Structure 1
Amino acid sequence: MARYIFITGGVVSSLGKGLMAASLAALLQARGYRVRIRKFDPYLNVDPGTMSPYQHGEVYVTDDGAETDLDLGHYERFTGVPGRQSDNVTSGRIYQTIIAKERRGDYLGATVQVIPHVTDAIKEFARADTDGLDFVLCEIGGTVGDIESLPFMEAIRQLRNDIGRQNSCFVHLTLVPYIAAAGELKTKPTQHSVRDMTALGIQPDVLVCRCERPLPPGERAKIALFCNVAPEAVIPALDARSIYGVPLQYHAEGLDTAVLRSFGLPAEQSPDLRRWDDIIDRLTNIEGEVTIGVVGKYVGLQDAYKSLHEALVHGGLANRVKVNIRWLDAELFEQAPDDVAAQLEPCHAILVPGGFGERGSEGKIASVRFARERKVPYFGICLGMQMACIEGARNTAGIAEASTTEFGPTPEPVVGLITEWMTAEGLQKREAGGDLGGTMRLGAYDATLAGNSHVASIYGATAISERHRHRYEVNVHYKDVLEAGGLRFSGMSPDGQLPEIVERPDHPWFVGVQFHPELKSKPFEPHPLFASFIEAAVKQSRLV
């Protein structure tokens, strides 16, 4: 039976529970254990798929088509274990399932209540699909004291009793603030947070204390005394120069050792951390720098492009260069068209990421034109590929009115709504007026690459699988005229109906992809497209 580690947060949000969970899983994995991480989100949305990126950051998509919290991206990047539908659940999904059962009469006339029905559903989720695992790490979203998270707290309290105390561990992440006027680190917020936990029937086994300054032994002992944990189970967590230094930092402070001891497991043997040492070496001993201009519409919140940011860093790791990202608001390019060249000229490469809606689209198209005409490396992802096709249609294929039906009726729908496509389960159909949630082309799909194409040489293969999240697609009926204008369709769905990749053979590096390659990139295994893109940026930096 798998052992469970429940990770909670207190005092304030945004302390880094997701990174801590990912780092702990990586450390256990480095000791030879098989791990999986799950996220419990207390909000009432069924999933984050319909939420604004400014509300919740990016939506991370798994191979099996789940739209999930961005923390699942951290989990995958740190462990290499692909996420699944069963790894993220929300209050909305729990209640949706329970209400559907009640409507069917599955409860046989019983009064449906939070306890036991909601808590049982949460426990069922936590225990499902865990065969062959040594540890299941469950991160509880939000902060202790939030009314939304109470059913989850009660569920994990019950689950410890169900599986036995010897098979569970509670790790609580808190804040130890530094008060400059007093010149002291204050432990009282942590004490109150643990008191709130114990009032819910949960006694933390390990405390992870986020702090700006080193935690003195005296303060560490004070926390241990008042919070009823062993001194060695109070783990300081200071800011790291890079998120990829966090596993090494937590190991140095004894996090994995404390967790294993709480299970009564041996912790004397050191984990194999060579992959993490290599990553830090590549981050520290760089051989140059490049500047990448990212032209998007959600640049005010970097979490909206979290996986993209990390994939660019991974491309830098592959080339031993530091990647400086210049976040550019596409909408500002529309308001001041003359600024396009001034803003993009300092960039060694340009990337237009995915997004939805018309706002900023003309600014993105202007960025594509700049990259094409100036021979600057260009990478278009999802909407970025569609904008590349519309720019090519307008400026190299003679289709002046080229546009996308996403922005309204158009006489030249170079990009249009996908109404049907094939999946492993059969033909999928969608209607323009249907629901928005969970109705896109989601998850991993195969693509076939032209053997003599640039992308085939980058991948080293002609058959690939990548993750998708989109509702609109480049119209294959425009393929011939766009190719006559110099834009080659070098990747297609296996049935030849859906364009997956375009490139420009007459350009140093110009690639547009309908999928999201950033979702599969890892620091120890950079995605080949990002590694090649940064390599092209390095070459461009030597020309300017």
Structure 2
Amino acid sequence: MTKYIFVTGGVLSSLGKGITAASVGTLLKHAGKNVGMLKIDPYINVDPGTMSPLEHGEVFVTKDGAETDLDIGNYERFLDKSFLKTSNFTTGQVYSSVIERERAGGYLGQTIQVVPHIVGEIVKRIKEAGEGHDILVVELGGTVGDIEGLPFMEAIRQMKHDEEVAGTFFVHVTLIPYIKAAGEMKSKPTQHSVQELRRIGITPQMIIARSENALPKTFKKKLAMSCDVSPDSVVEALDAATIYDVPMSFLRQNILKPIAKELELGEVAPDMQEWDSLVKKIVQPKGKVVIGFVGKYLALKESYKSLTEALIHAGAHLDSRVEICWVDSEEIEERGAQTLLNDCDGILVAGGFGNRGVEGKIQAIEYARVNKIPYLGICLGMQLTLVEYARNVLGLEGANSIEFDENTPHPMIYLIDNFLDQSGGMQLRTHQSPMGGTLRLGEYPCDTKEGSLLRQAYNGQKTIYERHRHRYEANPAYREQLENAGMIVTGESNGLIETVEIQGHPWFLGVQFHPEFTSRLQTPNPSILAFVNASLNAE
């Protein structure tokens, strides 16, 4: 039977519960355990798919096409493993399932209540996520005391006594503030947070103490005593140079000892040698490369979390610091591409929705193309690559995507619905969103062209697998014109144009998929790695 580690947070949000959960999972995985991960989000949205990136941050897409919380991305990047839609669920999904079952008569006329029905659904989903694993690490979003989190707290409390559960371990992440005027650290916020957990019926067995300063031994002893945990179960989580050093910090503090003892795991000795080597290359790299990151959600850089992490992964494997030069595409429209991108070794144009800043992205693409600067365009970045080429090389005036101009005389990019209609109902995993659009979601195969940068990046693989999240596709009607003018289609998926390259350019690649979703610290995504390498070696 599966054993469960529950990670809760107290005092305030953004303390790093996700990194804590991922770090514990990583150490257990490297100790030979089969580890699953689960993020529970108490918000009422069914999923983050319709939420603004400025509201929620990045929407992470799993290989089976689920739109999930960005913490699932951290889990994959840390554990070097693909997780599925069962690794994330929300209040909205729980209530929707219960209500649908009630409407269908599934409860045989019972009065539907939070206890036992909502809590029962939560427990069922947690157990489903744990199936087939030795250990499931469960991160509960939000903060102890939040009204929306109470049903989830009750569910994990009940699981302590569940005969189908092999064991439970509760980790509580909390803040240790330093009051500068008094010159003291304060434990009271943590004590009160633990008291709130106890009131619910949960006694944490480990405290992860987030602090800017190291905890004195006397303070740790006081914290252990007041929170009723053993001294070796108070673990410091200091600000780190990189999030990937957190597992190493935890390992140095022997974090697995109390976990293994309580869950009866036997001896656990993680082999973190390769991981440690990569972390050292992130912290003290030999080289440096500057990437111009052209986006439109720069007010919240969490919107591009997977992509910025993927650049770090590539840099670690190339022993180089990837310095990101953030460039707002709207600012390019005002000041010009050369002014903002002149000092960049490579240019990356990221994805996005809506027409704000689109012309700035097109200018950035033209600048990279004309000046022979290594270029990677992702999703919308790839689509605008076709638009830019059509306008400035093919001379097709007014060329555009129908996302931005429904009446464009040259629709280089059009809705996936149109393609589905023309292809006689091609079998694609699509999703009809509540906002009325059809999305291509999840993992799809892509056939690579012999001799292409794409195939070279993926070490000669004829077919690769990458993830998608978009509702517009490249129009194949313009393929012949583009290829005759030097823009070659080098990747295809079921007849869809997946990647394009430009003949005579040292390194220029546009990809319809999101390569960042499959990048991990130990196995960086090949296309992003090749792009950073080309930028590093650019003349």
Question: Cα distance 1:519–1:438, how it changes in 2: closer, same or farther (>3 A)?
Answer: farther
Determine which of 394, 399, 404 is the counterpart of 1:397: 394
Partner Cα distance (1:181, 1:122) in 2: 45
Partner Cα distance (1:290, 1:198) in 2: 50
Match of 2:535 in 1: 537
**1:208 is aligned with what amino acid?**
I
Report how far residue 129 of structure 1 moved: 4.7
Query: More deviation in 180-189 or 451-460?
Result: 451-460
Match of 2:353 in 1: 356
> Which runs of 5 or more residues in structure 2 are unaligned?
none
Secondary structure at 1:406 match in 2: coil
Report how far residue 425 of structure 1 moved: 10
**2:276 is aligned with what amino acid?**
D
Partner Cα distance (2:166, 2:480) in 1: 65
Secondary structure at 2:400 match in 1: strand
Partner Cα distance (1:340, 1:94) in 2: 47
Q: How does 1:22-37 map to 2 (within 5 A)?
A: 22-37=22-37
Partner Cα distance (2:470, 2:193) in 1: 41
Cα deviation digits, residues 411-435 of structure 1 (max 9, x gap)? 211001101559999456788xx73
Match of 2:18 in 1: 18
Instruction: With the length of structure 1 as denominator, give the TM-score of the two structures.
Output: 0.95
**1:357 is aligned with what amino acid?**
G
- Report if the CA contact (8 A) 1:354-1:382 is conserved: yes
Partner Cα distance (1:132, 1:114) in 2: 28
Cα deviation digits, residues 164-206 of structure 1 (max 9, x gap)? 7860001000000111111111000000000000000000011
- Report if the CA contact (8 A) 2:437-2:471 is conserved: no
Partner Cα distance (1:389, 1:95) in 2: 43
Match of 1:283 in 2: 282
Match of 1:38 in 2: 38
- Does 2:377 match 1:347? no
- Does 2:267 match 1:274? no
Match of 2:514 in 1: 516
Instruction: With the length of structure 2 as denominator, give the TM-score of the two structures.
Output: 0.96
Match of 1:305 in 2: 304
Determine which of 367, 371, 375 is the counterpart of 1:378: 375
Partner Cα distance (1:424, 1:62) in 2: 24
Match of 1:481 in 2: 481
Report how far residue 344 of structure 1 moved: 0.3
Question: Cα distance 1:454–1:440, how it changes in 2: closer, same or farther (>3 A)?
Answer: same
Secondary structure at 2:173 match in 1: strand
**1:309 is aligned with what amino acid?**
T
Aligned-residue sequence identity (percent) comes to 47
Q: How does 1:193-232 map to 2 (within 5 A)?
A: 193-232=193-232
**2:483 is aligned with what amino acid?**
E
- CA RMSD of superposed structures (Å): 1.8
Partner Cα distance (2:359, 2:210) in 1: 43
Report how far residue 163 of structure 1 moved: 4.0
Determine which of 383, 388, 398 is the counterpart of 2:385: 388
Partner Cα distance (2:236, 2:305) in 1: 26
- Does 2:221 match 1:258? no
Query: More deviation in 248-257 or 193-202?
Result: 248-257
**2:275 is aligned with what amino acid?**
W
Match of 1:292 in 2: 291
Partner Cα distance (1:293, 1:54) in 2: 21
Report how far residue 46 of structure 1 moved: 0.5
> Which runs of 5 or more residues in structure 1 are unaligned?
none
Match of 2:112 in 1: 112
Partner Cα distance (1:113, 1:124) in 2: 16
- Does 2:368 match 1:368? no
Report how far residue 518 of structure 1 moved: 0.5
Partner Cα distance (1:408, 1:46) in 2: 31
Secondary structure at 1:128 match in 2: helix
Secondary structure at 2:28 match in 1: helix
- Report if the CA contact (8 A) 2:159-2:165 is conserved: no
Query: More deviation in 129-138 or 385-394?
Result: 129-138
Match of 1:86 in 2: 86
Report how far residue 439 of structure 1 moved: 3.9
Partner Cα distance (1:480, 1:87) in 2: 43
Partner Cα distance (1:533, 1:452) in 2: 16
Cα deviation digits, residues 462-510 of structure 1 (max 9, x gap)? 21110000000111111111112221111111x32x1000011210110
Partner Cα distance (1:12, 1:425) in 2: 48
Query: More deviation in 416-425 or 400-409?
Result: 416-425
- Does 2:305 match 1:320? no
Partner Cα distance (1:437, 1:320) in 2: 45
Match of 2:155 in 1: 155
Question: Cα distance 1:165–1:93, how it changes in 2: closer, same or farther (>3 A)?
Answer: closer
Partner Cα distance (2:248, 2:14) in 1: 21
Report how far residue 283 of structure 1 moved: 2.0
Secondary structure at 2:154 match in 1: helix
Question: Cα distance 1:424–1:58, how it changes in 2: closer, same or farther (>3 A)?
Answer: farther
Report how far residue 102 of structure 1 moved: 1.2
Partner Cα distance (2:45, 2:470) in 1: 20
Secondary structure at 2:174 match in 1: strand
Q: How does 1:435-450 map to 2 (within 5 A)?
A: 435-436=434-435, 439-450=438-449
Partner Cα distance (1:392, 1:164) in 2: 60
- Report if the CA contact (8 A) 2:282-2:316 is conserved: yes
Partner Cα distance (1:418, 1:408) in 2: 16
Question: Cα distance 1:163–1:104, how it changes in 2: closer, same or farther (>3 A)?
Answer: same
Q: How does 1:482-501 map to 2 (within 5 A)?
A: 482-493=482-493, 495-496=494-495, 498-501=496-499
- Report if the CA contact (8 A) 2:242-2:283 is conserved: no
**1:536 is aligned with what amino acid?**
A
**2:326 is aligned with what amino acid?**
W
Question: Cα distance 1:285–1:180, how it changes in 2: closer, same or farther (>3 A)?
Answer: closer
